[in-house]
Amino acid sequence: MIQRAMLGAVASAALLAASLVPIVSGEAERLQRDAASRAGAVIEQGAMLYGLHCRTCHGSRGEGVGQLGPALGDGHFFTKRSQEVGWQSTLREYVVSTTSHGRLMGTRPIYAGNGTTAVMPPWHEDHGGMLRSDEIAAIADFVLNWQATATGKVELKALSLPEQNPQDPRTISRGEQVFEKHCLRCHGAANGAASGPAGPPLANIATLGNGRREGMTAQEYIRESILIPAAYRREGYADPGKGQDCGAVLTESELAAVIAFLSR
């Protein structure tokens, strides 16, 4: 009788254990989904903060913006940057540290700054910035989310976007609006010969720009001058330095439009 009862108890326990297997398995999957969802929410917050505070120097896709800031979304950043600066910890901690404390000097000449201001200001609220620790961590997670595509582990399908026709009057008109909003204050009127308060006149730049830089068309020269103002300096004008953040305020579409306007 006792033996029969024991066998019954063992059988009941076995049935109970078997019934719990799918529950435990399902719970593990649910926890994984929840963790992925939370990680995605943090990356999404980081994307929003990056767009507000980092895009103007590092580009909306981490491609870098002229002399303002290096690329953060390319293979070089993920495979060589730590070694370049002698960073001994993880790349994520490098991003967090650099964002928090800023950089007083650059490690590459194009980002070296002008010697009087920091190459990159500190962003942590403890150091005079405006971001909390969790916000900086979210930005770091967003930047590191580029690693798979930057290193070729994941290949995204290219989006087919309509190209702007530089001869289209609508493109030229839009470029004129962009010029008046962002360029007029330094260069003066685009159709005038007089210089602006800080930059040379741009009348006939479509003709004068051809050959000014060896191997460059006028359009390539204009693009370089917007993205890297110090790449070529006209005699009689001060080095624009990092303060002239021309490229930082323009989207790729606006840049193409203003080049079309100046090349008309």
pLDDT score of 89:
95
pLDDT digits (tens, 9 = 90+) for 136-146: 999 999 999 99
pLDDT score of 133:
96
Q: Are 243 and 198 in contact (CB under 8 A)?
A: no
Contacts of 93 (CB under 8 A, 6+ apart): none
Q: How far apart, in whole angstroms, are the C-alpha atoms of residue 228 and residue 65?
A: 8
Q: How far apart, in whole angstroms, are the C-alpha atoms of residue 48 and residue 251?
A: 17
Among 22-26, 112-116, 219-223, which range has the highest average pLDDT?
Answer: 219-223
The top-level CATH class assigned to 1-156 is: mainly alpha
Amino acid at the residue 9 = A
Q: How far apart, in whole angstroms, are the C-alpha atoms of residue 132 and residue 145?
A: 20
The percent helix, strand, coil of the chain (3-state, each to 5) is 55, 0, 40
Which is higher by pLDDT, 161 or 138?
A: 138
pLDDT digits (tens, 9 = 90+) for 32-68: 888 888 989 999 999 999 988 898 788 888 988 777 7
Q: Are 60 and 143 in contact (CB under 8 A)?
A: no
Per-residue pLDDT band for 180 (boundaries 50, 70, 90) equals: confident
pLDDT score of 100:
96
Per-residue pLDDT band for 181 (boundaries 50, 70, 90) equals: confident
pLDDT score of 145:
95
Per-residue pLDDT band for 97 (boundaries 50, 70, 90) equals: very high
Would you say residue 2 has pLDDT above 80?
Answer: no
Would you say residue 123 has pLDDT above 80?
Answer: yes
pLDDT score of 240:
60
Q: Are 119 and 104 in contact (CB under 8 A)?
A: yes
Which is higher by pLDDT, 175 or 240?
A: 175
pLDDT digits (tens, 9 = 90+) for 195-207: 556 778 888 888 8
Among the listed residues 46, 39, 35, 44, the one whose alpha carbon sits nearest the alpha carbon of residue 132: 46
Among 69-73, 192-196, 252-256, which range has the highest average pLDDT?
Answer: 69-73
In the structure encoding, which two tokens stand for residue 170, read together?
A: 């609508």
Torsion of CA 46, 48, 49, 53, to 10 degrees: 130
- The DSSP secondary-structure symbol of 103 reads B
Q: How far apart, in whole angstroms, are the C-alpha atoms of residue 35 and residue 177?
A: 46
Among the listed residues 213, 183, 181, 186, the one whose alpha carbon sits nearest the alpha carbon of residue 197: 186
pLDDT score of 67:
72
What residue segments make up the domains of the chain, in order of their start?
1-156, 169-262
Which residues, in sequence order, are bridge partners of residue 131? 124
Among the listed residues 167, 157, 160, 159, the one whose alpha carbon sits nearest the alpha carbon of residue 256: 167
The pLDDT > 70 percentage for the chain reads: 78
- The DSSP secondary-structure symbol of 157 reads P
Would you say residue 179 has pLDDT above 70?
Answer: yes
pLDDT score of 17:
56
pLDDT score of 98:
95
In the structure encoding, which two tokens stand for residue 131, read together?
A: 């971001």
- The DSSP secondary-structure symbol of 237 reads S
> What kind of architecture, by CATH, is found in domain 169-262?
Orthogonal Bundle (1.10)
pLDDT digits (tens, 9 = 90+) for 145-158: 999 999 999 988 87
